[in-house]
Structure 1
Amino acid sequence: MAIALALVLVVIGSILFHLFSPWWWTPIASNWRYIDDTIIVTFWITGAVFAAVVLFMAYCVFRFRHHPGRRAAYEPENKKLETWLTVITTIGVAALLAPGLFVWNQFITVPEDATDVEVVGQQWQWSFRLPGADRRLGKSDIRAISADNPLGLVTDDPAGTDDIVIQGGELHLPLDKPVKVLLRSTDVVHDFFVPEFRAKMDLVPGQISYFWLVPTRTGTFEILCAELCGIGHALMRGSVVVENEADHQAWLQEQSRLKLARLPAAQE
């Protein structure tokens, strides 16, 4: 009886904790709503299954508890039960997967006015590239990677001459403006993860993945690598700064000035 009661209390406590939990997510990007809705739907589906299984266990513990002289019946197969379990499991898995397909479609359907921003993962550092005045990023080629060109930029591409490259620094994004984040890796698989953005995607060598978002709140947020990428994985962190348009333009101008200041030294 005590075990059955404990199982019932676990279910009740889990539901109450979910409903009154103080640890809810903070909305700071345009994609938070539909992603959070999907997470909540997942919680309710898996929570319902969890509650049903645990309550069934409590019922079995109570209903079939030991009594002197009672013997258990041996039933190795039950086709009716197996059929019902297969059907219910299939419906549950489909219910979990279906919302994700709609979310994924929104996640990769980029608005035409979005600005491209490139994120490059390297052991164990984040680098960023933003377009200059032409609003276009130059080409890159993994075969061009060298000690002097760690990002593999194609130097003779006119579109890339005004690109702003930041290695190991902060990524700055404008408030309330759509941004397309292009992701690539120069060595192993990494994963670009900003928890508050609800944005998480792998960087796979040899290909470019992407997603988009609109930052909706200013502040500084931590960038993590969510894929084990080697001995320095835990140290592969960065920062993304969301700021108003005036501050963002001032930051871009400062980066362009620093780039021009480095050119004479590079030419020498």
Structure 2
Amino acid sequence: MPVALILVLLALGSVLFHVMSPWWFSPLASNWGYMDSTIVITFWITGVVYVVILLFMAYCVLRFRHRKGVKAAYNPENKKLEWGLTIVTAVGVAAMLAPGLVVWNDFITVPKEATTIEVLGQQWMWNYRLPGKDGVLGTADTKTVSTENPLGLMPNDRHGDDDIVIVGDALHLPIGKPVKLSLRSIDVLHDYFVPQFRAKMDGVPGMTTYFWFIPTKVGTYEAMCAELCGTGHYTMRGAVVVEEEAAYQEWLKKQPTFKQVADRAAKRRGQSDLASGEKMPAFTK
């Protein structure tokens, strides 16, 4: 009797905790409301099954408890019960998988009008690259990464000269416009995640991954790494600012291009050479 009561209380307590819990989704700030709907469907299906199983266990403990003079019946096979459980289980699994497959199809189908922005993960910061006036991102390679070229752009690719380079700073996005984030990593496995956008993806060394979304709410959101990436993993955080188009364009004008960053680096390198006392080459008549 006490065990059956404990099982019933466990079922009721779990439901009440889920309904009354203050820990729920963060406010949605993108078009991926389907993610929330899919999770809610999964909660309903697994929750109902969980409660039914606990109540059934409580019934069995109470109904088939030990009593004097009562013997257990041995019934190793019950085809009707087995078929019923198989069908119910199959329907439940399909009901959980089907919405996820639909959402995944949308998740990997990027709108043609989406702006591609590169996200480069490294221990332990986020760097970004936006297309310049030509609207095309230049090619990049981790082999060319250096202090002067932190994103590893190919110097001989002219499409990269006007690319906007953001190193360790906040990413700004215009509200209401689709964005494709193309992820790379220069060291270990990272995972770019903004909870309010309901979208995330691994940044894998040696390959490019992506996801897309539409920012729908103005605000500043925390970008974090959702993959254990080393001792400084907990510090790998950034910010994504969603703003109106006018404010976004003002911010964009203030950001340096790859060519400007490279020119500044070359100038600093030249000044450092002079300060170190290196002899300048002599000119002969």
TM-score, L = length of structure 2: 0.84
Aligned to 2:241, the other structure's residue is in SS state strand
- Tell me, in whole angstroms, the C-alpha distance in 1 between the residues paired with 2:240 and 2:104: 23
* 2:77 maps to 1:78: yes
Match of 2:100?
A: 100
In structure 1, give the amino acid aligned to 2:29: I
Query: Does the 8 A contact of 1:190 with 1:204 survive in 2?
Result: yes
Give yes or no for contact 2:191–2:200 (8 Å, CA) kept in 1: yes
Aligned-partner Cα distance in 2 for 1:180–1:3? 54
SS in 1 for 2:112: coil
- What is the rounded CA distance, in whole Å, between the counterparts of 2:130 and 2:24 in structure 1? 32
Letter aligned with residue 60 of structure 2: C
Equivalent-residue separation in structure 2 for 1:255 and 1:146 (angstroms): 20
How many Å apart are 1:255 and its aligned residue?
Answer: 1.0
Instruction: Give the superposition deviation at 1:233.
Output: 1.4
| Aligned match of 1:186 | 186
Return the alpha-carbon distance in structure 1 between the equivalents of residues 145 and 86 of structure 2: 52
Report the Cα distance in structure 2 between the residues aligned to 1:250 and 1:185, rounded to whole angstroms.
Answer: 29
Matched, 1:66 2:66: yes
User: Residue 219 of structure 1 corresponds to which residue in structure 2?
Assistant: 219
Secondary structure of 1:256's aligned partner: coil
**Offset of residue 82 of structure 1:** 4.8
In the alignment, what sits opposite 2:125? Answer: 125
Q: Partner letter of residue 78 of structure 1?
A: E
- How many residue pairs match? The answer is 266
SS of 2:224's partner is: strand
State, as a whole percentage, how many aligned pairs show the same letter.
Answer: 58
1:32-181 matched pairs, under 5 angstroms: 33-73=33-73, 77-78=76-77, 80=79, 81-181=81-181
Partner of 1:27: 28
Match of 1:2 in 2: 2
Letter paired with 2:209? S
CA RMSD after TM alignment: 2.3
AA partner of residue 94 (structure 2): A
**Offset of residue 137 of structure 1:** 1.3
Contact 1:193 1:224 in 2 (8 A): yes
Q: Give the Cα–Cα distance (whole angstroms) in 2 for the partners of residues 147 and 264 of structure 1.
A: 12
Deviations 1:170-189 (A, max 9, x none): 11111111111111111221
Residue identity opposite 2:50 in structure 1: F
Deviation at 1:50, TM superposition (A): 0.8
Give 1:41 deviation, angstroms.
Answer: 0.7
Alpha-carbon contact 1:194-1:223 (below 8 Å) kept:
yes
Aligned to 2:273: none
Contact 1:184 1:204 in 2 (8 A): yes
Residues in 2 aligned to 1:94 and 1:260: alpha-carbon distance in whole angstroms: 54
Partners in 2 of 1:188 and 1:14 — Cα distance?
39
Larger radius of gyration: 2
Shift in Å, 1:12: 2.6
**Structure 2 counterpart of 1:35, which letter?**
M
Contact 1:164 1:259 in 2 (8 A): no
Whole-angstrom CA distance in 2 between matches of 1:225 and 1:78: 51
| Aligned 8 A contact 2:149 2:262 in 1 | no
Whether the aligned pair in 1 keeps the contact of 2:164 and 2:257 (CA below 8 Å) is: no
In 1, Cα distance between equivalents of 2:3 and 2:166: 59
Matched residue SS, 1:40: helix
In 2, distance between residues paired with 1:223 and 1:264?
29
Deviation, 1:265, is 4.6
Q: Deviations over 1:30-84 (max 9, x none)?
A: 11x1111101111111111111111111111111223234454566x43635554
Deviation at 1:143, TM superposition (A): 3.0
Structure 2, unmatched stretches of 5+, are 271-285
